[in-house]
């Protein structure tokens, strides 16, 4: 068994793990990143697409990405479509901020490229990860592609290993909070021109639909479906017929269609685990919390966590401030709970409820018309969507 010694072992080389490794490198702290997927698989798995203002600043200011500004699309607002008409909510006007459409796959490419350029120790395609002795001298063991067992000894282990984290089970005692939703999202990529310049969040009697963009020729769309839906049961004709039915209206909006090139069903769940630290183990990103995708918060929360964590680890490891880690959970979770509420609020305002009662429909329409008809309502949405300024 080979042994490597490092200061921080990071389990999970997604956006949270890679960004943390990058920020630690800037502070002169070495780390090893371990991930059981191959780089090529992560680079081609479509997930989030919207970056908050502070996430873009973090990518740019830390030197991780220039491309987000040149190849990403700045969106100054969103369209809320209900009653058969688009209503634009102008974020710039209400809170002076925008979001950026820049797919998670590109964020990963930028971070991976940056860490590789800077000589980062990145180990993808491993298996059998195990974390040991987190309250003493922690170490992580794993098996490489040739079947050789390795050990990484570190002062701190970070669990950035996503929603199926093995690390979070090592936090003891722990408290977990769940909110299940009785539906899911059917997501698909299609080769079609853009239907709109910004995202269109649609509430219809048949349920929610979202029109999002990727490039000039490829678009990402979603519609609310049953939790156990089988993507293979949906032909291209059936998908477009459902999207047309949900986005039909009496304005000049036109849904642009084309070949469907990928489809999947996204689970819908809210989850938070606290604390996010146990001894010398710390959690970040989806390992500690997940949100439904409605508010586009998952990726942004992962990046917000590691912004705080990098600062705390620098104080602990460079400035010998051993107590620095104590405040990490509270600081990270204060943003997480805001995002949980925002995602829950957007979800319950736009989705057809299980009962589909008249009362709920009319209540949702009342809320939506307040939102687009009032400065305060629009500002509330704009501030939550673009992200609460970090301290």
Ligand X SMILES: Cc1cc2nc3c(=O)[nH]c(=O)nc-3n(C[C@H](O)[C@H](O)[C@H](O)COP(=O)(O)OP(=O)(O)OC[C@H]3O[C@@H](n4cnc5c(N)ncnc54)[C@H](O)[C@@H]3O)c2cc1C
Which residues are the active-site residues? 75, 201, 293, 297, 385
Is 288 exposed, middle or buried (CB count within 10 Å of its CB: 0-12, 13-18, 19+)? buried
Nearer to ligand X, 164 or 250 (CB): 164
Nearer to ligand X, 215 or 357 (CB): 215
As measured in angstroms, the least distance from the Cβ of 363 to ligand X is 26
What lies within 8 Å, CB to CB, of 290 at 6+ separation is 163, 269, 270, 271, 298
Q: 317 by DSSP, 3-state: which? A: helix
As measured in angstroms, the least distance from the Cβ of 14 to ligand X is 2
User: What residues make contact with ligand X under the rule CB under 6 A?
Assistant: 11-17, 34-37, 42, 47-50, 104, 129, 160-162, 164, 166, 266, 285-286, 293, 296-300, 302
Give the Cα-Cα-Cα angle 56, 293, 302 (nearest 5 degrees). Answer: 45
Total residue count of the chain as it appears in this document: 391
Nearer to ligand X, 164 or 319 (CB): 164
Identify the bridge partners of residue 225 per DSSP, sorted by sequence position: 184
As measured in angstroms, the least distance from the Cβ of 313 to ligand X is 16
Plot region of 192 (φ>0 → left; ψ -120 to 50 → alpha; else → beta): beta
Nearer to ligand X, 95 or 303 (CB): 303
User: Could you identify the residue written with the tokens 């710039």?
Assistant: 92
As measured in angstroms, the least distance from the Cβ of 364 to ligand X is 21
Plot region of 84 (φ>0 → left; ψ -120 to 50 → alpha; else → beta): left
Cα-to-chain-centroid distance, residue 104:
8
* Residue 77 and residue 90 in contact, taking contact as beta carbons nearer than 8 Å: yes
Plot region of 56 (φ>0 → left; ψ -120 to 50 → alpha; else → beta): alpha
Nearer to ligand X, 141 or 369 (CB): 141
As measured in angstroms, the least distance from the Cβ of 295 to ligand X is 8
């Amino acid at each position: 068994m080979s042994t490597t010694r490092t200061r921080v072992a990071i389990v999970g080389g997604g956006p949270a793990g890679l960004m943390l490794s990058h920020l630690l490198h800037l502070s002169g702290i070495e780390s090893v990143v371990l991930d059981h997927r191959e780089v090529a698989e992560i680079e081609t798995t479509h997930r989030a697409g919207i970056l908050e203002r502070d996430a873009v600043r973090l990518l740019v200011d830390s030197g991780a990405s220039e491309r987000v500004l040149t190849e990403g699309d700045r969106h100054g607002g969103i369209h809320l479509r209900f009653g058969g008409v688009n209503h634009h909510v102008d974020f710039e006007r209400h809170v002076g901020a925008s979001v950026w459409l820049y797919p998670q796959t590109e964020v990963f490419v930028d971070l991976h490229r940056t860490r590789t350029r800077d000589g980062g120790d990145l180990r993808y395609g491993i298996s059998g990860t195990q974390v040991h002795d987190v309250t003493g001298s922690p170490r992580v063991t794993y098996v490489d592609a040739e079947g050789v067992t390795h050990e990484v000894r570190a002062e701190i282990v970070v669990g950035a290993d996503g929603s199926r984290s093995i690390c979070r089970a090592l936090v003891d005692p722990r408290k977990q909070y769940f909110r299940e939703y009785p539906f899911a999202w059917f997501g698909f990529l299609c080769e079609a021109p853009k239907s709109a310049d910004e995202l269109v969040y649609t509430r219809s009697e048949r349920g929610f639909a979202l029109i999002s963009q990727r490039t000039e020729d490829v678009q990402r769309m979603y519609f609310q479906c049953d939790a156990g839906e089988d993507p293979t049961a949906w032909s291209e004709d059936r998908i477009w017929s459902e999207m047309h039915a949900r986005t039909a209206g009496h304005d000049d909006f036109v849904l642009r269609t084309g070949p469907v090139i990928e489809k999947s069903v996204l689970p819908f769940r809210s989850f938070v685990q606290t604390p996010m630290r146990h001894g010398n183990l710390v959690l970040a990103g989806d390992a500690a919390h997940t949100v439904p995708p409605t508010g586009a918060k998952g990726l942004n929360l992962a990046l917000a966590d590691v912004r705080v964590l990098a600062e705390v680890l620098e104080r602990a490891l460079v400035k010998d401030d051993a107590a620095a880690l104590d405040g990490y959970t509270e600081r990270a979770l204060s943003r997480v709970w805001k995002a949980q509420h925002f995602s829950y609020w957007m979800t319950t305002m736009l989705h057809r409820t299980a009962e589909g009662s008249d009362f709920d429909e009319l209540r949702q329409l009342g809320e939506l018309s307040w939102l687009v008809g009032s400065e305060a309502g629009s500002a509330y949405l704009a501030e939550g969507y673009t992200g609460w300024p970090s301290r």
